Amino acid sequence: MSSLSPRVLVLEDHAFQRSVAVRMLEQAGCSDIYEAADGAEALALLKRVGPVDIAVCDLQMDGMDGVEFIQRVGGSGQVGAIIISSSLSADLRRAVGQMVSQLNLVFLGDLGKPLQAMALESLLKKQRHVRPPAPLPYAPILKVAGETDVRRALARQELKAYYQPKFNLATGAVCGVEVLARWEHPFKGLLSPAAFMPTLERCGLMDDWLYAQMDQALALQEDARRRGFSLNMAFNLHAGQLANRELTGLVKQLLARHGVAGAGVTFEITESGLLEAPADSLESLVRLRMMGCRLSIDDFGAGFSSMQRLCQLPFNEIKLDAEFVRNLEQEPRCLAVIDSILALGNTLDMSVVIEGIETDAQRQQLLNLGCTVGQGYWFARPMAGEELLNWLQPRSSSVC
């Protein structure tokens, strides 16, 4: 190792194993090595000697354990990177590795026990080439607009439908779009749904926005069709809106006004609101399906999924939560979950859409699993209507 060797803390309650770790680090060229028998001792030590580059952590010990120690130092700047050395089961070690990353620490790897000198030295070398994570930014305090402003925005048609394409992972063909909400504020610029959606919900304006959004999107769908593009429009529907007995009638009127068949529309309903769907909601789901509309259970896996409800409710699409894709490379279990959901969709005759695809490596992994349709920033970000039409123009032969 170079003369710029890392400062290393060994957190291990077993004296012999601690001495073995120290000896291996010395043989690897580390000179500044500190030892602690539990988390409390380690924190006191860091207060005296200052930050370290790497902490080699056991997890299970008397006193403050390694899990609590990692939690305490996360984001503090006292430790740069973590190496886990524990005899706990692999799934628990993976979970702690995930926790390390979420705490803005570099996770160098999991060595298990007993320590192996070559594996340890490999991780020490890896540390030289890993850039430390940027400091966690202070989240801006988002001011949610008041009822008067939101009602005015609705009346002035400042709330706009934006569109994010869904695509075939193998060919890149566009398979439809998800219709999202943005506020084109005259003074503040483009605002995300977080600035106004809570007010729409609190003030009972969700249906007003849904109809306005559908009117905009179905008009765009007509325009796209005239230009040779056949696009399915997917709208987000809150589970609470299903209890409105007027919902399906108004949807039917909108479809008729724009000359759109029900098959050209999908309604995405988040799974968390469906576990106890009342009879009124079930009736709305059935009627939407009878009109030919597709029904997608959105963010599947983000809540407490009920397989029984999935079988009972008339959905024909599963939209898998983006979190599974986000952790695809770090968490092997995510591959197994996605593979299982694809098999479940096939068994239930339901298509599966994967959200959150941000890299080509993710796309390729999903393709290898048998996934065909996805959505995410790797392919396209949400865009305004005219921008979508211009974006589609060179893809005239690549629409599903």
Residues with catalytic annotation?
A: 355
DSSP single-letter state for residue 34: E
> Which residues pair with residue 265 across a beta bridge?
233
Nearest to 92 by CA among 55, 122, 67, 65: 67
Q: Mapped to the 3 state alphabet, what secondary structure does 275-321 carry? A: CCCCHHHHHHHHHHHHCCCEEEEEEECCCCCCHHHHHHCCCCEEEEC
Helices 39-49 and 66-73, axial angle in degrees (round to 10): 40
By C-alpha distance, which of 162, 161, 170, 160 is closest to 379? Answer: 170
Which position has the token pair 């080699």?
A: 56
Residue 181 in 3-state DSSP?
strand
**Would you give the DSSP letter of residue 51?**
-
Q: Are strands 373-375 and 159-168 parallel, antiparallel or unpaired?
A: antiparallel
Residues whose CB falls within 8 Å of the CB of residue 74, separated by 6 or more in sequence, listed in order? 100, 102, 103, 104, 105
Residues 6+ apart with CB under 8 A from 368: none
Which residues have C-beta within 8 Å of that of residue 389, sequence separation ≥ 6? 220, 223, 224, 227, 229
Q: Would you give the DSSP letter of residue 113? A: S
